[in-house]
Structure 1
Amino acid sequence: MNELSKLCIHTITTKPWSIEEAARNYSASGVKGITVWRNALAGRNIRQTSQMLREHDLSIVSLCRGGFFPNSDPAKRNLALDDNRKAIEEATELGTKLIVMVCGADPSQSLEDSRKQIQDGIAALIPEASAAGIKLAIEPLHPMYADSRSAINTLAQANDMTEALNSPWVGVAVDVYHLWWDPNLENEIARCGKNNALLAFHVCDWKTPTTDFLNDRGLMGEGCIPIRKIRSWVESAGFNGFNEVEIFSTEYWKEDQSEFLQKIIKAYKQFV
């Protein structure tokens, strides 16, 4: 099997590149998958962009991102639902079957209220997601983001919500950056597998010291995350999809992106 056959890279990882540049360079380097961030589609004909990606022999793994449901203002919650409906339309035009959900939180209200609004928001989207044949992946985020980015902070919480929603169109995304610290991670990944709910697997590394909690992620092997061990857990749970490299890094975005891409591939082969 080609070493890179399960390597997917998020467009945000090589943020300075346009989606056309990313597609051309990923494909030329043997990368087989791409996850598209919605900002990369701005001002473009999405169907033509989809065709361009496929012409470069790239599987369109998912669309990032939906979510951001909670708000103390009901009108803003409705706007969030409208934006998620737009994301479903975009995913349909792009030709992917998965949207990753960064669920959101509102620091002006309790986490419990935010979680209820997340569950209600996803429930409201299930009919449209089902009709479009698109799955919604709840991505738990590290607790440091519980104020405004996500009130879903452990895989157990994501699993609980998936089970409560009880829909084949809702599952979870496992991102090692957010979950590596969790002592229950192996068991919760196995729980995902039993529910057929493990929809995506994202990799990068946690640098020490971390200089920015959002934009200082490391290349695989640069930090303390046992990536290969966690990969073995997701595969034991039945996951056989892409390993998605998602790196937010102000430092790496300053580099020549072609050189950065080769570093990603080298790190992927060595540490994933």
Structure 2
Amino acid sequence: MTAHPRLSINQATIKHASLADALRTTADAGVGAIGLWREPVAEAGLDTAARMLADSGLRMSSLCRGGFFTSKEGPARRAALDENRRAIEETAALAAAGAPGSAAVLVLVAGGLPDGSVDIAGARTRVAEALAELEPEARAAGVTLAIEPLHPMYAADRAVVSTLRQALDLAEPFAPSSVGVVVDTFHIWWDPDVLPQIARAGAAGRIASYQVCDFLTPIPADALLARGMMGDGHVDFGSLTAAVQATGYAGDVEVEIFNAEIWAAEPAEVVARTVEAFERTIAIEPLSTTV
């Protein structure tokens, strides 16, 4: 089966593959894009990773991840912001190395509550302050900071930003080219306000990434691993994809799955299954601008 021209394999879906293997497996399957993670890039070294990406002929659809900047002012917060500055530099370098159509998009996961805190409003305020500090540097580098709202079950430990509305409110003070949002089906499918918020994001030009996977039940002991292949769970991909397409979103569509059984399978098998499931469930039009 020929891969959809807008399909991107997020590295998390084939988590145990090295960067070299992930690039090769994705390209060999006829997929045109890959979403990279900073840890495998760091293992290879940024310069080497950029060369590997260039040699693969793949587009980069995003780099994951930055964020985790909800700490109160002090050394930990300064270290987190400096780490995000490095992530901005990495995103720019990798996007420049990727094939035409690569996206200089840095996915941001806000971070949860600091240890011992119950002040979620304060944590969200610190996210806004971090964006204000980092946005000029992202703008100068040509990088889009993409705020990813996470399902509310992760609000305490991973992301105090839980809805697309909250993410858009945080992005609104900044130019869409420098601060956007991630629409991830796993995290937002449940939200009764999601379709108008997707339209709002599109009208403002703020959809920096569209990520897809399914929501499985029963939720496993490690809730991070509740993601599944499209069509295996509860997400209505038809309505969500139609809403994203109606905005004119022209980027790649990443499949990002955290699932122990999928991780245990051979990467080539997972990519082949992803190509098939994407074709069956994600009815998004190819674009002449996608190469």
Partner of 1:240: helix, strand, or coil?
Answer: coil
Aligned partners of 1:60 and 1:239: how far apart in 2? 16
Aligned partners of 1:12 and 1:77: how far apart in 2? 26
Aligned partners of 2:257 and 2:268: how far apart in 1? 15
- Within a 5 Å distance, the mapping from 1:1-272 to structure 2 comes to 3-72=3-72, 74-95=74-95, 96-107=103-114, 108-166=117-175, 168-211=177-220, 212-272=222-282
- Code of the residue aligned with 2:48 in structure 1: it is Q
- Code of the residue aligned with 1:259 in structure 2: it is E
Partner of 2:263: helix, strand, or coil?
Answer: helix
Aligned partners of 2:260 and 2:20: how far apart in 1? 21
Kept after mapping to 2: 8 A contact 1:176/1:203 = yes
1:54-91 residue CA offsets vs partner (Å, 9 max, x unmatched): 32221011110000010135221111101100101211
Tell me the number of residue pairs that the alignment of Structure 1 and Structure 2 aligns. Answer: 271
TM-score computed with the length of structure 2 as normaliser? 0.89
1:216-244 residue CA offsets vs partner (Å, 9 max, x unmatched): 31100000101132111011012121110
1:184-211 residue CA offsets vs partner (Å, 9 max, x unmatched): 1110000001111111000000112221
Question: Equivalent pairs: percent with the same residue?
Answer: 39
- Code of the residue aligned with 2:253 in structure 1: it is N
Aligned partners of 2:77 and 2:118: how far apart in 1? 13
Aligned partners of 1:76 and 1:146: how far apart in 2? 20
- Code of the residue aligned with 1:101 in structure 2: it is L
Aligned partners of 2:279 and 2:194: how far apart in 1? 24
Structure 1 stretches of at least 4 aligned residues deviating more than 3 Å after TM superposition? 164-168
Aligned partners of 2:256 and 2:32: how far apart in 1? 15
Which moves more between the two structures, 158-167 or 34-43?
158-167
| Unaligned segments of structure 1, at least 5 residues | none
Kept after mapping to 1: 8 A contact 2:176/2:205 = no
TM-score computed with the length of structure 1 as normaliser? 0.95
Aligned partners of 2:199 and 2:176: how far apart in 1? 18
- Code of the residue aligned with 1:104 in structure 2: it is G
Aligned partners of 2:235 and 2:201: how far apart in 1? 20
Which moves more between the two structures, 184-193 or 257-266?
257-266
| Unaligned segments of structure 2, at least 5 residues | 96-102, 283-291
Q: Post-superposition shift, 1:258?
A: 1.8
- Code of the residue aligned with 2:277 in structure 1: it is A
Kept after mapping to 1: 8 A contact 2:70/2:113 = yes
Greater relative contact order structure (CA < 8 Å, 6+ sep):
2
Label 1:256 to 1:167 Cα distance change in 2 as closer, same or farther (>3 A): closer
Kept after mapping to 2: 8 A contact 1:162/1:171 = yes
Aligned partners of 2:104 and 2:31: how far apart in 1? 19
